[in-house]
Chain A
Amino acid sequence: MGKGEVMEPEQFREIFRRLETEVQKVIVGHDDLIRKVLIAFFAGGHVLLEGVPGLGKTLLVKSLSRALGMSFKRIQFTPDLMPSDIVGTEVLTDANGRREFQFKQGPIFAHVVLADEINRATPKTQSAVLEAMEEKQVTVFGESHILASPFIVLATQNPIELEGTYPLPEAQLDRFFFKLLVAPPAPAELREILKRTTGTETDDATKVLPDDDSETVNAMKYLLRQVMIAPPIEDYVVRLVHATQAEAQNGGPAQTSVKQYIRFGSSPRGAQSIILGAKGNALAEGRVHVSYEDVEKIILPALRHRLILNFQAEAENISADQVLGDIIKRVPRN
């Protein structure tokens, strides 16, 4: 695809569908998860995957990077991991008889980065990654280094074994475009997993895009932002996000559950994520405009990590998804 060339929505849909198919060859089930990861990728966001070990989170990311033809790096987060282990550092080199410091890139310099068990690293190390996610650049010894484009961080965290972990601060959670929950496979899916992985032949994702074809990816990203959205649907998103804010709920539609369980509501980033995610979903479904359904499909992954629940919610085992479900029910479409 030539530079500056505008991609057709049909082309987008075709590439998207092929990427989905390739990842689905390796990952059994989780079709919705795969779609949302791809949407986040084309919307320019990062994804936090939460699920117990062994559900194929790492494999999903590897397969995605392979299908995309993008460089892939995996960082296993541990308590002793240092920021320089991620972003890179200056090392003394001997070149042509001259000794000089040269910047050695860390694993963050890849198109697809898997931050495995991100909550096991110290806040200092976490913040190094999160800064890179936001700024798309790192600064080492006063020198800024631009990261690869496209760039996506797929961080995973384990909801169990929380001992010795450092939960991500709310401000850093807000930088993730989506938080996706990886559910255990259904019996039929588990049977399929066994069939695929315990035999002699194993499928692997094949490349959909040529190696480092950032132009196509960027054209797809640009196209996604051109998707039309009707003002009433934008208003609906605004009302939804506003309804999550406990302090704004004076007789609002979701007053009861929000006031009862939410300490802080979503930031404007939540609304941005919903609209971009809805646009991605519309394009993936072959439409050039956003519908209410697109918005409602995206609300949970876009807002669940942006709501800060209070002690009562924790005590009553109320999840952000339950509160959001109540908000969706109560906020009228028009």
Chain B
Amino acid sequence: MQSEPDEGERPEKLIHRLVAKLRHHAFWDSLLIFGPPVGAAIYIIALLFGAAWLGQIPMLVSAALVLVLGCLAVVLRYRPSAPSVSAAAQLLDRQAAAKDHFLTLATVEPADWPASFLSRLRRETSGFGHRVELKRDFPYRLKSSAYWSFGLSLLAAVLISFLLPLTASVARPGALQDRLRTLGQEIALKPGLKGLGEDLLALAAKLDEAKIPREEKQAQAQELKKEIEEQQKKEEQKDNRDLLGQAASALEGVDQQQAGGQERKDQQKGGGGVQSDVRQQGQGKSEQSQGGSGDSKGDSSAQLSTELQQGKTTQGNPKEPGPEKNQQPGDAKQGNEPDPSRSGKEQNKEQMGKTEGGSKDGAGKEKASEEPPPQGVSPAERFYKGGEGKEGVKNARYVTVQLPEEIAADGKGESRATKETKGSRARTQVPVSNVPLPAHVPNAPSEKQQVPIEYRGMIR
């Protein structure tokens, strides 16, 4: 009878080595699947923090949460995929063509079987064990899921880092100011940095002012950033340096926000989006009324204020009796609200006539649609607070109103008149809504209402 194999070459040891190796593989598989998304998520959180979308504590909490979730996912995926002893033994059997020697040896209860059989089995299995080399026969291979995970995470991170500066100024315009204020207050408390802190607070206040042009805000932010960076270089204390670094990155965010806002404004101007068109139309109209042409629609604001003073509601009541609606000036109705009963040709003709006849009016509109709004001029009268305007509008409230859906849907952003005159006029854009208030205007109305019938003419 052959002797028992040495402790060093016991097949049980080989099985346990393989189990450890395969568990290691399973762990790496899980890590490589969930690691990249966790990394990307942390990167995105850092980006949001840099762009001042997230404060320090939310950033730390969300980063910690992502890490915890990532660890949990790794563990949850690893546990079922980690091979058992019998699975590893079966792999060895398959590799060594051992006819379940490893499996039997790994799983039988030694006390239940004759010792002579066990030692014989161990001896035979040991012979098969020499056919297996773990490093060669069970190498670690990256799974396709790891490649996918890495690729998708990278894509997400790249997309977010490109999109974030574009959206930074839209979604939370006030966050940067808040951050600047916080940082300003913190910096002002530091000895020798009080001036910088106050400058930051002043900039934050300036950013809230809608009247100040973007270029000015951007220039001031850049200037302050330079100052802070210079101060940061001079600073000896690490805490102060870090604080100044944070302020510099927040100012970078301000710079991007202002630049992004300007860019978007330019795009809207060129592309003829509804919002920019409406604003430009309003400006055009104001020119027209200055010109004092015969067309009475330029007087819309005055008419609206008069109506408001008379206590008329701006919300259209469909059950309201007809005479009120009919009280509107006939020329305004004719000029602005196309009558569906009239033929398209007639309407077209009328439009053409209007364009040709009122050259000043037409020029004004064209100019308005192409040129940017003048910087530094006083805002439209309706932006005044109650009692501020020339006309002395008091207690006026503003809502965003929309034309009836049928008109909007019919024209896909353009009015019927625009559609009909498309062939003759290159850029005749009539808005389908009135002016939405800029994002920085306080108490901006959050809800939209359909424009009452009696006011549709004025908006046109």
Q: Which A residues lie at the B interface, using CB under 8 A?
A: 6, 9, 226-233, 287-293, 333-334
- Which of A232, A288, A292, A334 has a CB less than 8 Å from the CB of B121? A288
CA distance A232 to B100 in the complex (A): 10
A288: B residues at CB distance < 8 A: 117, 120-121
> Contacts of A334 on B, CB cut-off 8 Å?
86-87, 90
B113:A231 contact, CB within 8 angstroms: no
Q: Mark B88-111, 1 if CB is under 8 A from A, else 0.
A: 001000000001110110111000
Can you pick out 26 interface pairs between chain A and chain B where the beta carbons lie within 8 Å of each other?
A9-B117, A226-B113, A226-B117, A228-B108, A228-B113, A228-B118, A228-B121, A229-B108, A230-B106, A230-B107, A231-B107, A231-B108, A232-B90, A233-B103, A287-B124, A288-B117, A288-B121, A289-B100, A289-B101, A289-B121, A290-B104, A291-B104, A293-B99, A293-B100, A334-B86, A334-B90
Q: Which of B62-100 contact A (CB under 8 A)?
A: 86-87, 90, 99-100
The answer to whether B113 touches A287, judged by C-beta atoms less than 8 angstroms apart, is: no
Nearest residue (CB) in B for A232 is B86
Question: Closest B-chain residue to A228, C-beta based?
Answer: B113
CA A229 to CA B99, docked complex, whole Å: 12
Given A230-B86, A288-B117, A334-B87, 17 additional A-B pairs, CB 8 A? A6-B114, A228-B118, A229-B104, A230-B100, A230-B107, A231-B107, A231-B108, A232-B86, A233-B100, A233-B104, A287-B124, A288-B120, A289-B101, A289-B117, A289-B121, A290-B100, A292-B100
* Nearest A residue (CB) for B112: A228
Q: How many Å lie between the Cα of A232 and that of B107 in the bound state?
A: 8
CB closest residue in chain B, given A333 = B90
A-B CB proximity, top 4 nearest: A291-B100, A289-B104, A230-B104, A288-B117
Are B87 and A291 in contact, CB atoms less than 8 angstroms apart? no
**A233–B103 alpha-carbon span in the complex (Å):** 9
Question: Considering the chains assembled together, what is the distance between the CA atoms of A230 and B108 in angstroms?
Answer: 5
Is the CB–CB distance between A232 and B113 below 8 Å?
no
Complex: A165 Cα to B99 Cα, angstroms: 45
Cα distance A9–B124 in the bound complex, in angstroms = 14
Q: Which of A6, A227, A230 contacts B103 (CB 8 A)?
A: A230
Tell me the nearest residue of chain B to A231, going by C-beta: B107
Most buried by B among A287, A288, A291, A333: A288
Residues of A within 8 A of B113 (CB): 226, 228
Query: Closest CB-CB distance, B102 to chain A, in whole Å?
Result: 10
**How many whole Å from A6's CB to the nearest CB in chain B?**
8
Question: CB-nearest residue of chain B relative to A10?
Answer: B120
Bitwise interface map of B from 406 to 439 toward A, beta carbon under 8 Å scored 1, else 0 = 0000000000000000000000000000000000
| Least distance between A223 CB and chain B CB atoms (Å) | 9
Q: Are B100 and A9 in contact (CB under 8 A)?
A: no
Considering the chains assembled together, what is the distance between the CA atoms of A334 and B86 in angstroms? 9
Looking at the assembled complex, report how far the CB atom of A274 sits from the nearest CB atom of chain B, in whole angstroms.
15
Q: Is the CB of A287 within 8 A of B99?
A: yes
Smallest CB separation, A278 vs chain B (Å): 11
Chain B contact residues, CB within 8 Å of chain A: 86-87, 90, 99-101, 103-104, 106-108, 113-114, 117-118, 120-121, 124
Query: In the complex, A292→B90 CA distance in Å?
Result: 11
Residues of B close to A292: CB separation below 8 A: 100
- Distance, CA A282 to CA B108, complexed state (A): 16
CB distance from B382 to the nearest CB of A (A): 69
| Residues from chain B with Cβ under 8 Å of A227 in the complex | 117
Contacts of B103 in A (CB 8 A): 230, 232-233
In the complex, chain A residues whose CB is within 8 Å of the CB of B90 = 232, 333-334
Query: In the assembly, what is the distance between CA of A233 and CA of B121, in Å?
Result: 16
- Which chain B residues border A228 with CB–CB below 8 Å? 104, 108, 113, 117-118, 121
CA distance A229 to B117 in the complex (A): 11
**How far, in whole Å, are A9 and B90 apart by their CA atoms in the complex?**
24
Question: What are the residues of chain B within 8 A of A229 when measuring CB–CB?
Answer: 104, 108
Contacts of A333 in B (CB 8 A): 90
Residues of B within 8 A of A293 (CB): 99-100
Chain B residues with CB below 8 A from A230, complex form: 86, 100, 103-104, 106-108
A95 to B339, CA, bound (A): 137
Q: How far is the CA of A226 from the CA of B86 in the complex (A)?
A: 22
A125 to B124, CA, bound (A): 50
Known: A228-B117, A228-B121, A230-B108. A291 touches B86 (CB 8 A): no
Looking at the assembled complex, report how far the CB atom of B128 sits from the nearest CB atom of chain A, in whole angstroms: 12
A231→B106 CA distance, assembly (Å) = 10
| Bound Cα distance from A148 to B100, whole angstroms | 37
A290 to B101 alpha-carbon distance, docked (Å): 9
CA distance A229 to B121 in the complex (A): 12
CB distance from A241 to the nearest CB of B (A): 19
Which of B104, B107, B120 interacts with A9 by CB under 8 Å? Answer: B120
B225 to chain A, nearest CB (A): 65
Contacts of B100 in A (CB 8 A): 230, 233, 289-293
Q: Which residue of B lies closest to A291 (CB)?
A: B100
Complex: A195 Cα to B124 Cα, angstroms: 43
Q: Let me know if A291 and B99 touch, CB within 8 A.
A: yes
Q: Least Cβ distance of A115 to chain B in Å? A: 36
Report A23 CB to chain B, min CB distance, Å. 26
Question: In the complex, A289→B86 CA distance in Å?
Answer: 15
Closest-CB distance, A66 to chain B (whole angstroms): 32
Residue of A nearest to B118 (CB): A228
C-alpha gap A227/B100 in the complex (Å)? 13
Chain A residues with CB under 8 Å of B107's CB are: 230-232
A231, B87: Cα distance in complex, Å: 12
Which residues from A are CB-within-8-Å of B108?
228-231, 289
**CB-based nearest B residue for A8:** B116
Name the residue among B100, B106, B107, B113 with the largest chain A CB count within 10 angstroms. Answer: B100
Question: Cα distance A291–B105 when bound, in Å?
Answer: 12
Q: What are the residues of chain A within 8 A of B120 when measuring CB–CB?
A: 9, 288
Closest B residue to A234 using CB positions: B107
Closest Cβ of chain A to B115, distance in Å, is: 11
Q: How far is the CA of A333 from the CA of B118 in the complex (A)?
A: 23
Please report the C-alpha to C-alpha distance between residue A300 and residue B83 in the assembled complex, in whole angstroms. Answer: 32
Name the B residues within 8 Å of A291 (CB-CB): 99-100, 104
- Residues of chain A within 8 A (CB-CB) of B86 are 230, 232, 334
Give B223 Cβ to nearest chain A Cβ, in Å: 72
B99 to chain A, nearest CB (A): 4
How far is A6 from B116 in the complex, measured between Cα atoms in Å?
11
Considering residues B106, B107, B124, which has the most beta carbons from chain A within 10 angstroms of its beta carbon?
B107
Bound Cα distance from A83 to B374, whole angstroms: 121
Question: Please, how many angstroms separate the alpha-carbon atoms of A165 and B312 in the complex?
Answer: 107
Cα A287 to Cα B104 in complex, Å, equals: 11
What A residues does B101 contact at CB under 8 A?
289
Task: State the Cβ distance, A8 to closest chain B Cβ, in Å.
Answer: 8
In whole angstroms, what is the CA distance A237 to B107 when docked? 16
A298 to B86: give the CA distance in the assembly, Å. Answer: 23
Shortest distance in angstroms between A9's beta carbon and chain B's nearest beta carbon?
A: 7
